[in-house]
Chain A
Amino acid sequence: MRTSTPFAVLALALAALGCQKKQGAEGGEAAASAALTPNAGSGTGKILIGHVASLTGDKATFGQSTDRGVRLAVTEANAAGGVKGRQLEVKTLDNQGKAEESAIAATRLVSQDRVTVLLGEVASTNSLAMAPIADRYQVPMVSPSSTNPKVTKDGARTRPYVFRVCFIDPFQGTVMAKFARETLKLDKVAVLRDVGSDYSMGLADYFIEKFKALGGTIVDDQSFKAGDPDFKAQLTAIKNRSPQAVYVPAYYGDVALIARQARELGMKQPLMGGDGWDSAKLFEIGGKAVDGCYFSNHYSHEDPEPRIQSFVKKYAQTYGEVPDGLAAQGYDAAKVAIAAMKAAKDLSGAAIKDALAATKDYPGVTGVITIDSDHNAVKPAVVLEVKNGAAHFVATVKP
């Protein structure tokens, strides 16, 4: 017992020393981040645009399509002379569709590569992981298609450096609820949501709220975890309540399996969803099971609007495929960011974010984009129907 006392004293002293050291390190980091702000404010080299995207993983088509859209926009801008006489370059980092990887990739882009603007991500959970980083390093971030309202918010405050060029879920949920109630004339709908996704939880809540307000009934509200192989327990329970449709606001990989298993249980009801469905993989894995289903999206490549058709043509020439909604959103996000860089008085983060916030009536592919005071884009949504392995335009719903 006697020998242990000096050891204890020594340990305490060491611990205190450790704490002091740590404090010193934190102070240093804060100073470093403050010194980082004037990235690429002057100079003559290329302007670097960072893009965080899920090039692999369970939402891989989202990242790949978005990146193609972004690169198309940047190629066009470069051909037109770049920004302030300088050429643009895109650096894309893969996050495998994971939130923690998104944070790492965003930090790397802003602190090591010193990008001027940060683009990304599609999934709201991932954008939520990036938003505080954009704010802390004062680099403007434009999310192409994250629809959860919290992405541009820090509590009640709007994040000064975070923007998006898509509508938000309160609107998207409303669109589908209105469509189900007024166009499809449904009374009884069940909901099946992904408990692990901010996007899915938010969208389901907004849908339910609006559908009830319009006089409909939600007969069941079940949940699952993304990546589960088996959804039959929930689907059997839903089937027993005999709804006229099932709202599944989730991502395409799970939706495809849910649709298959619903058909296997003999459920003929249409499924309905949001922009998370927009992927060729939905049709590949889902096959016939997703026929007759509806989902809300940012745009339809079948829209006859000349602006859209010219984009579809250019994209098809470059990549040999029809652009999905995510590609169009990526294109618009890059275009809006480039326009803001042109409009800004210099290329500092503060100047660009002011220019982004002032974006008004920008003629994007996915609609006329105006950034509101919450840094969201106000624009219409479309409803698509799946027929024979492709999504077809049904209706446009204005905000």
Chain B
Amino acid sequence: MNDSRGEKSKVATTLSRELNLLHITMMGVGMMIGAGVFIGIGNAARIAGPGGMILTFALNGLIALFVAMSYAELSSAIPRAGGAYNFARIAFGRAPSFLAGWMEWFASSVAGSLYAVTFAIYTVHYFSQLGFIHIPGTHLPALEKLVAAAVASIFVYVNYRGVSQTGTTGALLTLGQTLILAFIALVGIGTALYDPERLANFKPFLPHGWTMLLVTMGFTYVAFEGFEVIAQTGDEAIEPRRNLPKAMLYSILIVVLTYVGVSFASLVAVKDVGEPAWAWIGKFGAKGFGQAVSRLLPWGGLVTTIAVIFASTSALNATIYSATRVSYALGRDRMLPPIFSRLSKRRITPYVALLFTAGLVISVAVLLPTIHVASSASIMFLFLFFLVNLCVIRIRHYMGDELTYGFMMPLFPWLPIAAIFVQVLLAVWLIRMSLVAWIVGPIWVVSGIAIYYAYSRHRTSTTREEIVTLREEPIPRKQGYRILLAVSNPENAVQLASYSYRLGQAKRAEVEVVYMMPVPPQVPLSDASQYMLRGEEAIVEAMLYLSTDFTFGSTIRYCRSIPRGIISTAAEQRTDLLIMGWGGHPRKGFALGRTVDPILERTTCNVAVLKNCHQQKHMRVMVPFAGGPNGVFALEVASMLVEREGGRIDVFHVSSPGRPRQDIEACLEKSLPPLGVESSLFEPKYAISSDILGTLIEQAQQYDLVVMGASREGLFRQVVMGRLPEEFARRCGKPLVMVKAPSPVRSFVRRWM
């Protein structure tokens, strides 16, 4: 998406699309497996019995899929951050849009309260069982509330710092917790096959009748909220029209099968307890799932606690930033006081919106009992999804011809109508579970309506477009060699550019300069251009200078993470060579640095990392050579840098005493002709020394540039360039260019490690 301001200044601004199908599917799954299933199993068993518990999750899954299809259709047609708030604005105008945002803020915040409470219940219970907590049982609820408030406060601070677990890390954490639950389900199935008598636990199937099913369905509906967070990633997902709807459907499928599996496992886990299994699980209430699993697996209590800790904390983090983002958007559009859109100068996070969200999350967690927290979250999501189902019908009816759909739901309009009908039914029946939810929910909605008519209606900004759809950037067709120069500060941008220019001329390449601007997750990427360039004038000036002086293309990309942004840009633009600078100061825990390391590990194009490269001309260049996979690439880069100036390249080989030396002449004869490089540029040099690194550093002092290729190391070693090149890079004070050619298989394996 290029904005008009970018065109005027010749520096385009784009959004970095970093999240693939797996990332966004796991985001949805992670939000759903946050607490609902852990809290819901015990309570559902108590209220609806064994069959009711399984049916609750299976039928709720089906209803959630109907709603997910509505979200999928709308997100595929309007793939922009905003979700229900955006859909309602397009379908019905400002008042329902405000109400959608207002309800979403509350629903996400209360879901956050539920995750904090679930975390507290399971951890306090586990540690009191181990004997670490010595307080009377009557005081445990107070301790749980205290822990819930503490964990919520920690994640509010984490959100203030602008940290999030998105991308591969978040996806892997969610995958891990889903696999734990899938394992529990499989053990349950195995137990039932081994001991079929346990299937008698399902009798009576519905001891309290079919109507109680509606109560438990309404109560556990919160366990299926989460797919709507996928709709929020419209600005960040790769191929959103295709991947957003797919991720929503897949996440529901994964979650439904997991929930039904763990419910089954919980029931068959219990035997010889002197009462029906469902009644035994039910009497533990929110802790019922943990109690059942501890009878199924030897370390069941620990396994459940670990799963709950991971699931609830990652979902808590995600709901806090999701709720903050909604209240920020309401402030930005003047539907709430503009103070809600105020960003912290240091962290660039909407701290006022975060503060109000924190107040909501903590007060609900502390003041309401668990059942009412879950019911309040469920009822608000039922209201919200009700509205979204109306939106999908109206938008298809009135604007279907104007929009480009990536997915149109089958059986339209029957699926959204069925969802609306069931949601009304569930909301009504929820009153039997929690009268408090039926007081808190409507009060919140009515107060929202009052705020809109008293405040928002007169102040809503009119400058923003009513319908904003995001244009997807077409994938550029491959034409010749492409160089991508990633700059990070104005001081070294010009030096890097002159190197890129020389390499670009030698290869007759197109050169694109890119500056990655990180944006915290609480601020939608599409809003970033309004705020993020403050204080970044110098780099914009530098890019403007580069684009006029070197005929480069210049782009500022808003991203969530700099390395991921650079990797996705390189892949998106089908880059052949990525050039970036390195300050020469390795960070603790990283081989070279926290930006450079992941790029060298995961990118799938050639990479050149420049250190101390301030000189314009290099007449004497050294290429340490050991015949490794990147040696030839290093020779090619060196030749491109010296060819026009008429410099010379010494190809330097140091071998240990008693070991055969590399025949450089033979290597050059073999590898230079395909590169089209003159062999007269190169001169082989040999040395024998037991201290290879020391010799190389000593020799490097005589040269004005060193070009070094990465060495091959074991796949499982924590090195990115090879131990010797990394150590050389850290200790060598001369201008240095480190190069690495891509290795798709290694990159793929390391990416997943």
A binds B: no
What residues of chain A have their CB less than 8 Å away from a CB belonging to chain B? none
